Amino acid sequence: MPGPNLPADPGPPAAADIPPPDDPRPWQTLSTRQAFRNRWVGVALDQVHLPTGAVYEYTRLEPAGVGVGVVGFNAAGQVLLEREYRHGVGQVIWQLPGGLASPEEDLQAAGLRELLEETGYAPRAVTGETVRYLGAVWDNPALGPGQSHLFAAWDLVPVDRPRRDPAELVTLHWRSPGWLQEAVRRGEIQDRVVVAAVAYCMLNGWI
């Protein structure tokens, strides 16, 4: 089970959080043209004015929603992982249950919904001690504003059969926290959501 709750208010920013005086200046967007959109992603072409005075065309991805991911533990302390073929990299990879939150959907509720839909598992009870927010990661800040919000959930039990999309061909695997850390360390796991979740859990002393 998790340790003490983190403070709700982190207080004033530490010195390291204050941008240095020589920080690069933001760009100014002059115009935006939608080049492509489907249910998953949009592609926008921005005309931007750089601090140098130059005008530049920048290709930017517009995500269809906010990402959520859940690192889930059973009563024995094992972590629930997925194996899935990802066509973008042409490999079967290790990943966490997750997906996109619906518009206006609570992010924690979205994470637990994705966990249930993909795996059939859920926490035995949802409380402030069994489900905790870990943090967020940018998907690729060079290409767009997409973010994934990460949660940890404890005491997972099977409650239903998975209800996956037709293209979600997933196998489920329980692994120890030590195995998970070592798989990240040796580069077997490279998915940003898993790596970030491991880092957040280690920082909190949960694995």
Query: Domain boundaries in the chain?
Result: 23-63, 67-203
Fold classified for 67-203: Nucleoside Triphosphate Pyrophosphohydrolase (3.90.79)
Per-residue pLDDT band at 4 (split at 50, 70, 90) = very low
Q: Which tens digit of pLDDT belongs to each residue from 10-29?
A: 445 555 567 777 889 999 99
- Encoded tokens for 139: 């998907």
- 3 state DSSP class of 108: helix
Phi-psi region of 74 (alpha: psi -120 to 50; beta: other; left: phi over 0): beta
For the segment 26-55, the average pLDDT, to the nearest whole number, is 94
Note the pLDDT of residue 180: 97
Residue 52 pLDDT exceeds 80:
yes
Q: Which of 104-113, 118-127, 158-167, 180-189 has the lowest mean pLDDT?
A: 158-167
Note the pLDDT of residue 167: 84
Note the pLDDT of residue 103: 84
Residue with structure tokens 């998915």? 191
Note the pLDDT of residue 5: 43
Q: Which of 23-32, 161-170, 195-204 has the lowest mean pLDDT?
A: 161-170
Note the pLDDT of residue 7: 39
Note the pLDDT of residue 10: 46
* Reported pTM: 0.86
Q: Nearest Cα to 86, choosing from 188, 183, 181, 191? A: 191
Measure the CA–CA gap between 41 and 30, rounded to whole angstroms. 22
Per-residue pLDDT band at 3 (split at 50, 70, 90) = very low
